[in-house]
Structure formats: structure tokens, C-alpha cells
Structure 1
Amino acid sequence: MLVLCGSAVATELFRSGHPGAGAASVAVFVLLAAVNSPLIHPRSVSASEALRRSEADGRPVVYWRPGCAYCLRLRLRLGRSARRLHWVDIWRDPDGAAVVRAATGGDETVPTVVVAGRPHVNPDPAWVRDQLSPSA
């Protein structure tokens, strides 16, 4: 939807004789679409499902929200390893938001990563990757 809106704005700018502004608006809308895309983050599950899966396989649970630069940083720095985590979108899951508020003293600070039942707010991506290793 963002790319479609950006295309409409850019078309109007190109028609009115502002090709530079049109190109810039396309770039901004494409960037916004990429940052907010569900394709950037692995598929989210509910907080209860993530907890169940984490108890079964021992993998961390990541509570995140779309548009969060720190969540995007974590996702990109983890690379393919990100698919091994259980992701919960706190904007789509009220129980997930409640877990984050309980862990952060009432704020919805993300990413919050829960490893072995202990929450870690905005941890270093290298540390999160280490939690996925078999020896962790």
C-alpha cells in the first residue's frame, strides 16, 4: 500500500515538472514499505504459542513491533538465524504486550527477548545469536 501511495505521489510530482522530488518520494515510500514489511521479520505467533514452542525447543522468544528500528536492527543482524527464534508482534497480540510491560516496568520497550524465562530488553544481536547455539 505504501509503494502504491508513493507511486501516486511521484506520478503527480513528475507531471508537475519535479522529477527529483518524484524520485525522492518513491525512494522514501519504498523504504517505509521495506521497514514495515512483514517479509523483513519472520512470521509472528501469539505469545501463548511462542511460550509453548520455547518450552518445547528452548529457543528464545522475541517481542517486537513493526516500525521499531531496534527490532529491525536485531532482525537484520541475526540474518538467517532470526528464523530460529519465536517472534511475537506486540501490536497484534495484547498478551505479548502485557509480557513486555511486565518485563520493562510498564513500558512497551522492544525488542524484548525472553531466554529461559528471563527477559532482556534490547539485547545485543551477537548475544541473542549466542543463545541459539547448542552449548548455550
Structure 2
Amino acid sequence: MMRAWILPMSLVICGSVAAAAPAASGSPGVAVSLLAVFALLAGLHSPLAFPRSIGAAEAQGRSAADGRPVVYWRAGCKYCLRLRIRLGRDARRLHWVDIWRDPAGAAAVRAANDGNETVPTVMVAGRPHTNPDAAWVRARLSS
């Protein structure tokens, strides 16, 4: 669980260090701007940028009941973030599984990707699709 927060916390620390020099030299505007940019990056790469994750077994059960895809993801993955941003509000309609929090989810991703934990992996009707286009995923939501 802590692994998901390593990158965001590193970004906050780096931003603080980078903002210290301008703050000490009397440029508070530059310091605040630097810190804001690093904080934004940290927020985007944190688990907070994604809908609440559930376990793989629960996601598969829900998907079987309502037909919605299951998205396996992990914090810090730029492709997962890109999919999340491009889906917009539709992302809340999917079932999200954080593979760093759920060993069963990680096992499902490894089984689908020849032993690799390649994310995002989207399961639609039991078939895996690795790093699909957001428009394709949105089309699976409407069908």
C-alpha cells in the first residue's frame, strides 16, 4: 500500500526543495508556483486521482452482474493516468482494481499479459485488453 505513495511523496519533497531556494532569495511567487506544480503532479500520480479501487473478486462479480469493464491499474502509471483523464466522468462507471493493493488483481494481470504486470489492462466479458484506447473503453460502456 505504501508503494503507491512513493512517487507522489517524492514529488512533494522535490518540490519543497526546489521551492526553498527561490523562497530564501526573496521570490515567494516563484517558490509558490514551483510548489504548486509539484503538488499538482503528485496529486495526479497518487491513488486519489482514480475512482475508489475494489478487490479483483468483487470487481469480477460486479462486472458479471452489470456488464461493465474492469480496469486493472497502479498508481504512478502514466498510461493508467492517461486512460483515466481521457475517460473523464465515464471512469466512475468502470470497476477499478489497484494491482498494488490486491494480489489477486496482480495475478489476473500477469495471467493476461504473459507474466508481466502491464497496466492498464481492461477486462471486458472475461477477455483482457492491454492499454486500450479510451474511446474503445467508452464504447464498451455504452454497449
Structure 1 residues 67, 18: CA separation in 2 closer, same or farther (over 3 Å shift)? Answer: farther
Question: What is the aligned partner in structure 2 of residue 74 from structure 1?
Answer: 83
Partner Cα separation in structure 1 for residue 12 and residue 137 of structure 2: 36
Of residues 24-33 and 35-44 in structure 1, the stretch that sits farther from structure 2 once superposed is 24-33
Match of 1:110 among 100, 116, 119: 119
Worse-superposed segment, 6-15 or 24-33? 6-15
Higher helix share: 2
Which secondary structure does the structure 2 equivalent of 1:119 belong to? Answer: strand
**Paired position in structure 2 for 1:9:** 17
CA distance in 2, matches of 1:30, 1:131: 34
1:57-100: CA deviation from partner (whole Å, max 9, x where unpaired):
11000000001111011111111110000000001111100000
In structure 2, the partner of 1:52 is 61
CA 1:18–1:88 in structure 2 vs 1: closer, same or farther (change >3 Å)? farther
Q: Which residue of 1 aligns with 2:3?
A: none
> What TM-score do the two structures reach when normalised by structure 1?
0.86
Contact 1:113 1:122 in 2 (8 A): yes
Q: Distance in 1 between matches of 2:26 and 2:129?
A: 48
Q: Give the distance between the partners of 1:18 and 1:65, measured in 2 at CA.
A: 39
* Corresponding position of 1:121: 130
Show the counterpart of 1:94. 103
Q: 1:11 to 1:28 in 2, by over 3 A?
A: closer
Number of paired residues? Answer: 134
In 2, distance between residues paired with 1:118 and 1:7?
Answer: 41
Mind listing any 5+ residue stretches in structure 2 that lack a counterpart?
Answer: 1-7
Amino acid at match of 1:103: A
Q: Give the unaligned 5+ runs of structure 1.
A: none
